[in-house]
Amino acid sequence: METKISSATKDVIISEKQTTLIGERINPTGKKKLAEALRLGDYEQLILQEARNQILAGADILDVNVGTGGVDEVVVLPKVVQLLMAETDTPLCFDSGDGKALEACLKVYKGRALINSVKGTEHSMDQILPLVKEYGAAVIVLPADERGIPRDVETRMEIFDRVIERAGKLGIPLNDIVVDALVLSVGVDGKGGLVTFEVIRQVKEKYGVNITLGASNISYGVPGRDVVNGVFLGMAIAAGCTCPVVDVAKVRKHIMAADLLLGNDRFSRRYLKYFRENESLF
């Protein structure tokens, strides 16, 4: 299964052949300076700095999120998208549940975007899926509905079934759907990782679609987060995760090693090149 995301001049193909890195850093959550800059409208320097750092670290796609108190996403998100389009050719992922903000971005975006995300609620499906169809975008499906985020595999699969069925009725093909396996912190639920791995297994078996997850969630509230995140990513990629949302600078070495061990790096070329250029990180 291949999912194509693009900018005006660059294509990224998400597949099992090589792990695609979605950079998570353009997000005001936990970043007071960026949140305040977005509220004041003085965000260009910070946004571009984050974008350049992630691209330099190896991000294939940039996730763009401006959701914070006092920020009108309908106005600000498309402005940030236009800023990034002018300064980089890296494809973008629009991270918002606001249908109006997403449509504003899709109208100005030159390329094929990834939307993050649609939930299993009627409101979310009614807002987001028609936009995916109209603008030819790809979309991430989040296993959440009116009941919140389920911890069990069965309920998550029911939500995926519901959204994928609705998407199919609108003529959205499976290869334009990316499933979020959604990992919860092992500090809260010791079986959080196991649930995620089983979700990945069942989704792969039933639908064969590409799979993402917010990798750093696994270690929230746990000491030694970098170690936990690195081990988890290797295990998730082995299970079938193809495009994790990550802090690329921190975890790329783990992802390169995982691709190497899984036979997705012919003659170890990518790993060896990365090692030679970043030996100080090892």
pLDDT of the chain along its 282 residues, tens only?
999 999 999 999 999 999 999 999 999 999 999 999 999 999 999 999 999 999 999 999 999 999 999 999 999 999 999 999 999 999 999 999 999 999 999 999 999 999 999 999 999 999 999 999 999 999 999 999 999 999 999 999 999 999 999 999 999 999 999 999 999 999 998 999 999 999 999 999 999 999 999 999 999 999 999 999 999 999 999 999 999 999 999 999 999 999 999 999 999 999 999 999 998 888
pLDDT for residue 282: 85
d(CA 126, CA 132): 11
Domains in the chain: boundaries: 3-249
CA distance 130 to 143: 19
Residue 179, SS3 per DSSP:
strand
Beta strands in the chain (DSSP E): 3-6, 11-14, 22-26, 61-64, 92-95, 114-118, 138-141, 177-180, 210-212, 245-246
Alpha helices for 143-242 (secondary structure H): 153-169, 192-206, 225-239
Rounded Cα distance, 112 and 197, in Å? 29
Please calculate the CA angle 198-204-208 and round it to the nearest 5 degrees: 165
Element (H, E) at 99: helix 99-108
**CATH number of this structure's domain 3-249, picked from the four choices 3.40.47.10, 3.30.1340.30, 1.20.140.10, 3.20.20.20:** 3.20.20.20
